[in-house]
Amino acid sequence: MNKKIIFQKCHFNYIYFILYIVILFVNVLIQYNIDPDYSYLDTNSSSDSDTDSDTNTDSNSDNDSKINYFESKMINYLLTYNLSNFLAIIPYFIRKKLIKNRAEKIQNVKTEDNKLKDDTSLIYTENIITISDEKKKTIRIYLIILGICDFLQKFVMVLYSEIYPERDIIDLYSFSFLVPFEIVLQFVCSYLILKIHFYKLQYFSLFLNLGILIIILIIDIINLIKCNSFDEKIFYFYPLHIIIYSIGYSFGKKILLYGFISIYLLIFIKGCISFILSLLYFLIVFLTDNKSFSHFGIFFTEPINIGLIIINIFCHFFVSIFLWLIIDRFSPNYLPFVFIFEEVSYYIIDGIYGFNGRYKIMGWDLYFRISLFVVSFIGVMIHDEIVVINICNLGSDTKYFLDLKFESEELFAHTDNPEIIKRYESMEMDSISGNGDNLSIDEK
């Protein structure tokens, strides 16, 4: 093979990545429009600082309203996300009905041959009982872990607004260290939890993204120290948020690998567990400090907001569906593609709404960050063997070359062409002579 860079063929399942990005883009746009006073609240505190002592009382009242507003906003976010999970029960029953109809048609065909019917029924029933008894308990444990992770990843954001209620929780400026951290952590979780074996290309991609993470993290720290460009508390909360959902995705893939639960039932069950935990949290907050709910009704004051919230619930649902379809059809190691395109989407939307101006960045590093993200994207393609690098024997263990080797062996086993046989035997002789020391072929 003389090619140094080999591109694998596109697969139809890649369309789920496109659908995910489109729905996510729409979802973020809706969230910005549900929160029309965001920029006003963000700048309101700075304008109040210049008022005289006669308006200090009004300023404190505005700050209190702002604090309660941010807490209510996060509660609304947690509630709408949990409600979206229950929509998965609709495609679940549709899929169940379709499978049942298909099974009835197959059964009707089998009734024409009683012997075939009896044999297949016996084998099928015995297999189902044996597998379900072995895996049922494990699947339940994994589902509980997934449901807890699903709740905790959102609860970390809510917890930020509870501990630091004076400001809204916002992302870092675009192309920060968060995405490389997501990529590296997802690779590590797949390696540790899913036991996915890494070959040379996978290790190369892992260390490449780790180097990009370190470089961008250093720049972010410089921006924080020199320009105070973001809240340093994000260093604690966002990595915790990322760690939790990376673990959840890996356990979700383990559940899907058993083949007994569809993604729709998985989303519904994890949604039920997350909703129960959310209700417990809402109850505790309401009994201890119900001020967090004081501005909750602001999201339902206008009919257009109610409509946007309903659309937002459906968007959350479709985002979750396409995300789990990617995990099911591929693996969590393909999610870095989602993370990178997600970051680009946020950058575009922030540019549309003019929010980039509020981020104090050094300026010179923007294009450098974008360049590093492009390299990271290539590294992810290498990790998932979409691009195979045939340099320094890096691609020797990839599926592409293993398939070529298998095809070559199949061709030799079934051919009568003397040219092919001669070529294969000469390759074998070269291999033997290359591996030997001073022994002759007959001696070996």
Give the model's pLDDT for residue 397: 59
Looking at the structure, do residues 423 and 305 belong to the same domain, yes or no? no
Q: Do 68 and 153 fall within a single domain?
A: yes
- pLDDT of 428 > 50? The answer is no
pLDDT at 166: 62
pTM: 0.76
Number of domains, the chain: 2
Residues paired with 383 in a beta bridge: none
- Quick: pLDDT tens for 238-297: 889 999 999 999 999 999 988 778 899 999 999 999 999 988 988 887 777 666 666 666
Residue 364 located in a structural domain: no
* pLDDT tens readout for residues 144-196: 999 999 999 988 888 887 777 665 566 567 888 999 999 999 999 999 999 88
Of 300, 329, 358, the residue at which a domain comes to its end is 329
pLDDT in tens, 207-226: 999 999 999 999 888 888 88
Q: Name the DSSP class of 51.
A: S
Asked which of 329, 345, 380 is the last residue of a domain, the reply is 329
Provide the pLDDT for residue 47: 42
Residues 267, 416 within the same domain: no
Q: What is the rounded average pLDDT of the residues 15-37?
A: 80
Lowest mean pLDDT among 80-89, 135-144, 364-373, 389-398: 389-398
Residue 396: predicted pLDDT? 57
In a domain, 114, yes or no: yes
The least confident of 67-76, 214-223, 419-428 is 419-428
Residue 104, both tokens: 């009835």
Instruction: Kindly tell me if the per-residue pLDDT of 410 is higher than 70.
Output: no
37 pLDDT more than 60: no
Q: Determine, yes or no, domain membership for 407.
A: yes
Asked if 276 and 147 sit in the same domain, the reply is: yes
Q: What percent of the chain has pLDDT over 70?
A: 63
37 with 132, same domain: the answer is yes
The residue that leads in pLDDT, 67 or 48, is: 67
The pLDDT of residue 43 is: 42
Same domain, 315 and 412: no
Query: 107 or 117, which is more confident?
Result: 107
Structural domain contains residue 124: yes
Question: Residue 132 falls within a domain, yes or no?
Answer: yes
* CA distance linking residue 125 with residue 119, whole number of Å: 10
- Is residue 104's pLDDT more than 50? yes
Confidence of residue 348 (pLDDT cuts 50, 70, 90): confident
Residues 6+ apart with CB under 8 A from 256: 263, 266, 324, 327, 328
279 and 411 inside one domain:
no
pLDDT for the residue numbered 294: 60
Residue 63 lies in a domain: yes
- pLDDT for position 69: 61
Residue 122's domain comprises 28-48+58-170+259-329
Please indicate, yes or no, whether residues 272 and 420 belong to a single structural domain of this protein: no
In whole angstroms, give the CA distance from residue 319 to residue 263. 13
310, 164: one domain: yes
Residues with Cβ < 8 Å from 125, sequence gap 6 or more? none
pLDDT digits (tens, 9 = 90+) for 350-394: 777 765 545 556 667 888 989 999 999 999 988 887 777 776 665
DSSP state of 428: H
In a domain, 386, yes or no: no
Whether the CB-CB separation of 95 and 262 falls below 8 Å is answered with yes
Residues 163 and 297 in one domain: yes
- Report the mean per-residue pLDDT for the chain: 75
Residue 299 lies in a domain: yes
Domain termination residue (choose one: 279, 294, 329): 329
Cα gap 251→188, rounded to integer Å: 13
How far is the C-alpha of 248 from the C-alpha of 331, rounded, in Å? 13
284 and 153 co-located in one domain:
yes
Residues 278 and 148 in one domain: yes
